[in-house]
Copies of this chain bind each other. A is one copy, B any other.
Amino acid sequence: MARPSQNLDQRLTRVGRRHLTRRGSARFSVRELCAEAGVNLGMFHYHFRSKAAFISGLLEEIYNPMFARLNLAAGSGQDPVEKLRSALRVFGGWVTEHRVLLSRLAADLLGGESNVAAFIRTAEVRHIAVMVGLILECQRADRFPPGHPGEIMVFIGGATFLPLLVGTLAQNNKHLPAPIRAVLKDGTLFTEAALSRRIDAALRGLTLPLPKLRA
């Protein structure tokens, strides 16, 4: 056929994931990535059309396997609360594993950066719909109080996953005041046991009337 590939595309995706983790999508630099990977600048747009497409592809590579496992967890079993618990464990484990990258992306998103926003909006983020569906199932089975499932979603996410992102950001940020960083030093926040405790507590809390969510 033609000249055999040196698989520079694979090298770029591998180093690109590291680069995205370190720099976030806002300060992501194509030229810097190519230099890190020892790859000619032209190869970037040869293999991937644009910076946005590259980042979007990276995110899909990271997101899709989790989503497959999430659907598996959400579909197996009878008890709706247990199905939700399984799904939350899958998602929480994924957030824990990729917390450095995800927290950086979250910071970018909140700062108004657009590459991540595009990925989130272009229907590639589908786990929320699955979660809401499970919550609705719980409500129909009278296991959860009635009301807007989004509010329950926010409650669960805030109690279980948000601490992972905020904690990671704070931990990795040298500019934050020392007392805030000191609390995160031991790292028990990121263990699977602690995650399960938070999930269990959140679900247990929901079988009671949903508290007023003031914060």
Contacts and interface: CB of A to CB of B under 8 A. Distances in A.
Given A154-B183, A179-B150, A107 B117 contact: no
Given A117-B175, A182-B148, A110 B215 contact: no
A68 interface: no
Given A179-B149, A182-B148, A173 B110 contact: yes
A112 B25 CA distance: 11
A43 interface: no
Contact of A177 (B128, B151, B194): B128
A116 B177 CA distance: 13
A151 B183 CA distance: 6
Interface string A140-174: 00000000111101100101001100110110010
Contacts of A128: 177, 179
A19 interface: no
Contacts of A27: 111-112
B109 A177 contact: no
Chief secondary structure at chain A's binding surface: helix
Given A27-B112, A107-B110, A183-B150, A215 B163 contact: yes
Nearest to A106: B110
A17 interface: no
Interface in A97-128: 103-104, 107-112, 116-117, 120-121, 125, 128
Interface of A: 23-24, 26-27, 103-104, 107-112, 116-117, 120-121, 125, 128, 132, 148-151, 153-154, 157, 159, 162-163, 166-167, 169-170, 173, 175-180, 182-183, 188-189, 194, 197-198, 213-215
Task: Give 8 closest A-B pairs by Cβ, nearest first.
Answer: A150-B179, A117-B175, A163-B215, A107-B111, A107-B110, A110-B169, A154-B183, A153-B179
Given A148-B183, A150-B180, 14 more contacts: A24-B111, A26-B26, A26-B111, A27-B112, A107-B110, A108-B111, A116-B175, A117-B175, A128-B177, A150-B178, A151-B179, A151-B182, A153-B179, A188-B214
